Every structure is written in C-alpha cells, then in structure tokens.
Amino acid sequence: MDPIREAHLSEPGLLVIDVAGRDDVTVCAFQAAIARLWGTSTAEHTTRDVGQPCVRLRMYTDLRQVLEEGAPTEPESTAT
C-alpha cells in the first residue's frame, strides 16, 4: 500500500483505515458498514500482495461527517 500522507490526517476526525481480510466480499462488507455511518471515500478495488493470504483495501473516513441512519452509500442501480 502507498504511504499515508500528512494531508490524509490534517485535521481531527480524519481516519485512514487499512483493511485486510480473507476475500473481497468480507473487506467490501466492512467498508460498506463504515460508509453507512460516516463520510467515507470508498475503494473501488482490493489489492493482493504476493505471498499474503489476504486481500487489502484502504479507505479514508471523516468522523465529522455523520450520515443519517439508513442513508444510501452507493448510487442506486437503474433496472432497464
């Protein structure tokens, strides 16, 4: 993963969360749970390091942006 930069944590309430899990479904479910609560820049994909048994993703969360309960975190798909 890239290094965490000072700008990512420039103010109180900003978090950089590195997540490691067994599979994409698990880490993406964790990311979605966090994104339902706080303003979160979500990762579009996971990464896998050679020789490691897990997938990883990095997310940036702003605890100052509390979302309303039940607010959608992803654009709704349109059925055609």
| Percentage of the chain lying above the pLDDT 90 cut | 25
Per-residue pLDDT at 74 exceeds 70: no
- Euclidean distance between CA atoms 54 and 14, whole angstroms: 26
The model carries a pTM of 0.68
Phi, psi of 19 (to 5 degrees): -115, 135
Given a cut of 90, whether residue 10 has pLDDT beyond it is no
Task: Give the closest residue to 71 by CA, choosing from 46, 45, 40, 44.
Answer: 40
Q: What is the mean pLDDT of residues 34-61?
A: 88
Average pLDDT, the chain: 78
